[in-house]
Structure 1
Amino acid sequence: MADMRLPITKCHGSGNDFALIDARELLLEDREWAQVARALANRNGAVGGDGILLLTAGDGQAAFGMRIFNADGSEPETCLNGLRCVARAGLETLGLDRATVRLKTSHAEVARDADLAAGVFTVRETAGPAGLDVREWPLMGEGARIVDAPITRLSPGLHFTAVSMPNPHLIAFVDSVDEAELVRIGTICEGAPDWLPNRANVSFVEVRGSDELYVRTFERGVGLTNACGSAMGAATFVAGLTGRLPFDRTVTVRNRGGLVRASASAGGMVTLSGNATVEWRGRVTVELAAGVAGELTIVERCADEVAAWAAVARR
């Protein structure tokens, strides 16, 4: 593995931050991309983030594609916060207003949307349908579906709904988020027990009135995160599925990193509208063999975008 000098864009969706790479002409093996992710997502390194995003080539159905590698080098099925960032890059690069995007195991629709606030580049994305058959994860020993039901080996008191977006999520509605309990349960799932070999994202969700949710997530391959887009989408769908909020209502979904507007249909399609904020652009050296980032050069800082999103997040 030779060292590489990579152009990157540091970006975030609702506080879920990444290094984005135009990989349409970069032919790296998966194990090499995993090393790039470990290097660039290291919070103690030159860049830091929840993972890396790759803008990839399209196919007969999609104008372009997206891949994501988590901080631990694993590759999830999708990331809806990351998708908005890749969508922005793809739309701007190709001069499009909307597009179909190829994901790891599915496709999504994206479009430039009206800005959430002045100076906040906003993308609308639609993905799904959500899946309820946990045998596909697999999650074993709990039947084919888990809808607002206990999983006693995780918690005797909480009720979970298991849904894929298409990455796996365990959603528990709570009166108030107990972060220590979320970390405890998330750590169990992150350990890939025999009954959950591919792990799962775990979210605690508060219903705040008739049109707002608050979501806190322990993300597979990342840990406790400021935001997880697919978790926010899954929570919106599960709120409708369990009768907590109506389907097809646009709601505000908040998290530590900010917010998105979201809606879900009874058929499992989820639409999120949220920011795709560029913080800076630059170049970084990656020592592939060691999985560490070297010299970083920032060539453009996007202070106005950062400030515009900070104003939204404060509210």
Structure 2
Amino acid sequence: MRFEIVKCHGSGNDFPLIDARDIALDEAEWAVVARALADRAGPVGGDGLLLLTAGDEVHAFGMVMRNSDGSEAETCLNGVRCVARAGFAALGIDQAQVRLKTSSAFAAHDPDLAPGVYTVRETAGPAGMDVTAWPMRIRTDRLIEGVVPALSDTIRFTAVAMPNPHLVAFVDTVDEAELVRIGTICEGAPDWLPNRANVSFVEVRGGDLFVRTFERGVGLTDSCGSAMAASTHAACLTGRIPTDRETVVFNRGGLVRAQADADGVVTICGNATFEWAGSVEVDLATRVAFGLVVTARYPDEVAAWEAAKRVAG
């Protein structure tokens, strides 16, 4: 089956994106497509697969994000921006309520974050603090700077749902080996955390944040939008940064501007960069992608984002 795709990224979190509004595949088939297209050893590669889906009476359109292992995430805020851009273009609008798996997000085309960088503002939340809803079976229903003995005797985590589950730890310096160790435990879906969780180590740099994330269903990633939102909320909740003040959140892939309010609603302003467009074949039986044809490239957008990263960092 041949798919028209756009390769895009939000803050370095990269995806193939498909307009799936008129494509009839079931859940298992879409999982196959996600694994084939997100495979870094294949012709496309990515942190997952984004689908622009049909709207309803409340939402102009929807988004589905499948991780590179084929599983469906509750949300992906970097992905929301990319799907919103595609939805805006398809429908001739510049703002929309976007349906997610278990919630919705507001998205609007915003003034450029930097010259030539297509920018979308999105609002998500309120953040959920009840870990029994994940479920996370520990001795409390709310975890704020608490130890999880199954993960570490010393690292303190704050548990936030955005609405996908995040464990956020503030550290002096990110230890990637330790992050991978803890993320791998969570990825194994232990009895006390059957639906897994994203794990982030966060450095506070003045009034800004640097976030490094082991993403559920993906692994160590250069960027995770919901992790940046969860980290911003956790930083406000624990008094590390002020509530209702815009903060720059950095990651390996770039940056976004984020702001959390007292109710746990987080607004993120970041890029939705298109790199190229084309088509690719996916054999659903063999689960392999092949025959990539690139029909358009967007070098000016790619260069604009790289320039913005250099200035920021």
- Asked if these proteins are the same fold (TM beyond 0.5), I'd say yes
Pick from 225, 230, 234: which aligns with 1:238? Answer: 234
- Corresponding residue for 2:195? 198
Partner of residue 219, structure 1? 215
1:266 aligns with 2:262: yes
Matched AA of 1:172? A
Structure 1 position 90, deviation (Å): 0.4
Q: How far is the alpha carbon of 1:189 from its aligned partner?
A: 0.1
What whole-Å deviation, never above 9, does each CA across 1:5-32 have from its counterpart, x for those lacking one? Answer: 0000000000000000000000100100
Q: Secondary structure at the match of 1:299?
A: strand
Give the distance between the partners of 1:124 and 1:254, measured in 2 at CA: 17
Q: Give the CA RMSD over aligned residues.
A: 0.6
Distance across 2 between alignment mates of 1:141 and 1:68: 28
Structure 2 CA distance, aligned partners of 1:61 and 1:89? 18
Q: How far apart in 2 are the matches of 1:253 and 1:297?
A: 35
> What is the TM-score when the length of structure 2 is the normalising length?
0.99
Query: Does the alignment pair 1:256 with 2:252?
Result: yes
2:112 counterpart of 1:120:
no
Question: Any runs of at least 4 consecutive aligned residues in structure 1 with deviations exceeding 4 A, and if so which?
Answer: none
Query: Counterpart of 1:155 in 2: which secondary structure?
Result: coil
Structure 2: which amino acid aligns with 1:129? Answer: P
Q: Which residue does the alignment assign to 1:6?
A: 3
Q: Map 1:184-195 onto structure 2 (within 5 A).
A: 184-195=181-192
Conservation of the 8 A alpha-carbon contact between 1:160 and 1:171: yes
- Between the aligned partners of 2:175 and 2:276, the Cα distance in structure 1 is 34
Q: What is the CA-CA distance between 1:142 and the residue it aligns to?
A: 3.0
| 1:287 corresponding residue in structure 2 | 283
Corresponding residue for 1:297?
293
| Equivalences, count | 311
- SS, match of residue 156 in structure 2: strand
Q: Tell me how far 1:38 sits from its aligned partner.
A: 0.4
1:103 is the counterpart of 2:100: yes
Distance 2:106 2:286 in 1: 37
Pick from 79, 84, 97 the counterpart of residue 81 of structure 2: 84
Q: Which amino acid aligns with 2:216?
A: R
TM-score computed with the length of structure 1 as normaliser: 0.98
Report the residue type matching 1:41 in the other structure.
A
**What is the CA-CA distance between 1:141 and the residue it aligns to?**
2.1
3-state DSSP of counterpart to 1:118? coil
2: distance between equivalents of 1:307 and 1:32? 35
CA distance in 1: counterparts of 2:100 and 2:150, whole angstroms: 32
Correspondent of 1:311 among 307, 310, 313: 307
Q: Measure how far apart 1:292 and its partner are.
A: 1.3
- CA distance in structure 1 between the partners assigned to 2:175 and 2:74 by the alignment: 27
Is 1:173 paired with 2:143?
no
The alpha-carbon deviation at position 291 of structure 1 amounts to 1.5
- In structure 1, give the amino acid aligned to 2:308: V
Q: 2:54 aligns with which of 54, 57, 60?
A: 57
> Conserved in 2, the CA contact under 8 Å of 1:142 and 1:151?
no
Aligned counterparts of 2:309 and 2:33: Cα–Cα separation in 1: 29
Identity of counterpart residues, as a percentage? 67
CA distance in 2, matches of 1:154, 1:313: 33
- Look up the equivalent residue of 1:273 and give its one-letter code: C
Shift of 1:288: 0.9
Q: How much does 1:164 deviate?
A: 0.3
Which of 206, 210, 228 in structure 2 is aligned with 1:209? 206
Q: Which runs of 5+ in 2 are unaligned?
A: none
